[in-house]
Amino acid sequence: MDRVGVFSFARHHPEFYNGVHAKNSKLGGGEMVSWWLDCVRTCLHELGHLLGMRHCIYFRCLMNGNNGPGDSAGRTTFLCPVCLRKVLSVCAGDEFVFS
């Protein structure tokens, strides 16, 4: 399985859509934490795609689709039971027994 993922920190910056370059921006502590959490969520979401997962349609989940800054505001960092099972299946293969 050969896959490539591309991620940009810039599009998650709070002032990106206002045309402000990250180098010219001053973020407060809370804004910086929020920015990093958004980046972590997107990296984990894209890693799910690298594992072969599609967007989740079952529950509120890390693998839900995202159409821009408005959609990502309520995103969770956690996988739902369906997607968690997919990850366990991919990572453990036949060695993992679901009970």
Q: Residues 47-83: pLDDT tens digits? A: 999 988 999 999 999 999 877 666 655 678 899 999 9
Within a domain: 37:
yes
In whole angstroms, give the CA distance from residue 40 to residue 14: 15
Domain of residue 50 covers 10-95
Residue 14 domain flag: yes
Give the pair of three-digit tokens for residue 93.
């293969």
d(CA 71, CA 55): 14
pLDDT value of position 39: 86
Q: Examine residue 16 and state whether it is found in any structural domain, yes or no.
A: yes
Which token pair is 97?
């027994």
The DSSP symbol for 95 reads G
Query: Catalytic pick from 15, 31, 46, 95?
Result: 46
Res. 16 pLDDT band, cuts 50 70 90: confident
Look up the pTM and report it.
0.76
Q: How many domains does the chain have?
A: 1
End-to-end CA distance of the chain: 28
pLDDT in tens, 19-33: 777 677 777 888 888
Task: Let me know if 95 is a catalytic residue.
Answer: no
Q: Is 1 a domain residue? A: no
The C-alpha atoms of residue 39 and residue 77 are separated, in whole angstroms, by 11
